[in-house]
Structure 1
Amino acid sequence: MPSEGGLPAREIKRRQTRERLLGAAISEFRRKGMVEAEVGEIVSAAGVAHGTFFFHFPTKEHVLVELERREEERMADELSRFFRTSPDLPAALTEIVRVITGLEQRLGSRLFKDFLALHFSTTRPPQEEWRGHPVIVAVVGEFERARERGEIPAANEVFYSGVFFLLGLYALLITIPEERSVREEVIENYIATALRGMRNPNTDRT
């Protein structure tokens, strides 16, 4: 029987169950990390049968993929709003770093590292092409605009510049110490190095 929004009651229930499982799994990942997280604890917290978890999420990695999808959409929206202000390349790189490192405060250090490690995991579920990743799309689009402004050489492959910048940042955030002063120095040097690699030398006379 149709329910609110025209959706059948069964579909509404399915979505509600998935949301409970996702929330319970994320909480468990925060406490123990994805590897040590126990499906039994997740389904108990969600109030569902053990097999229900695997109906919605075939593996624990699929939970992270769903979290990644939602967070990427949110971060891409935030970046797109900033990019509409027409920042220069240094400001754009700084904002990209701010948005991604801000994710750590919401997820917590343990889950944040699991989230980033997903990009390098050999057990990650099959990945769609890069256009399915809105953060990459937003960053590459901004690099294209920087190239049009002459901040990046015309011959620069902005797709690779965007992907390499993001992957390098992810790798840094996984491996550098959590001490704030150390992280800030390493990230500042990373942005400066990326700028030197991308910026048009004809406009960089300093």
Structure 2
Amino acid sequence: MNTKSVQANLILLITAVIWGGGFVAQRLGMQQMGPYIFNGFRFLIGALTLVPVILVRKKSVVVEKRDSKKILLIGAVAGLFLFFGATFQQLGLVFTTAGKAGFITGLYVVIVPLLGMLWGDRGSLYSWLGAVVAVVGLYFLSASRGLVFAPGDGFVLIGACFWALHVQFIARFSPDVDAFQLSFVQSLFTSLISFGVGIFLEDFVFDQ
């Protein structure tokens, strides 16, 4: 295993730890505001944190006008997937626990290869073994009576499908564009949609 591979795996591990801990923060955030406004702030902060990185890299990364349009288009579509994924996940957290939501959302690692079959990618043996283990785990963790799930579990599972669609879309259409700029565009796009919906559907009042 080369150095780059080790670094990549380490970054993914750190990301997974942060991602898992985020469910607790999301549930706490829901005590102060609705899911749409929460996601609006969530992705706005994500977009703003990327601005310094993009500005620092601007001198070394040259983006042509054609690439800028491509980034905007891909970012808009990816942002739409993010919006639905984050929205259903956040709605689900109202009716289920952070632990269950984290596990169910994690099923997107199974859904991704299943979607890949639509493009002729059958996946490896390990992918299918992982699918079996994940489904069994989902049953024992989330099923209350037989195969009856709580409403929140269903919302989170729908969100996981949109996360999987996002992964497949990014994997197929973004290899040739700047990752940081694309992340900024999709996060900003998701934030704007969330705020737009939240303004009409939610009241934004902090509890004292």
TM interval, short-chain normalised: 0.3 to 0.5
Higher relative contact order (CA 8 A, sep 6+): 2
Q: Under a length normalisation based on structure 1, what TM-score does the superposition of the two structures give?
A: 0.32
User: Which structure has the bigger radius of gyration?
Assistant: 1
Q: Under a length normalisation based on structure 2, what TM-score does the superposition of the two structures give?
A: 0.32
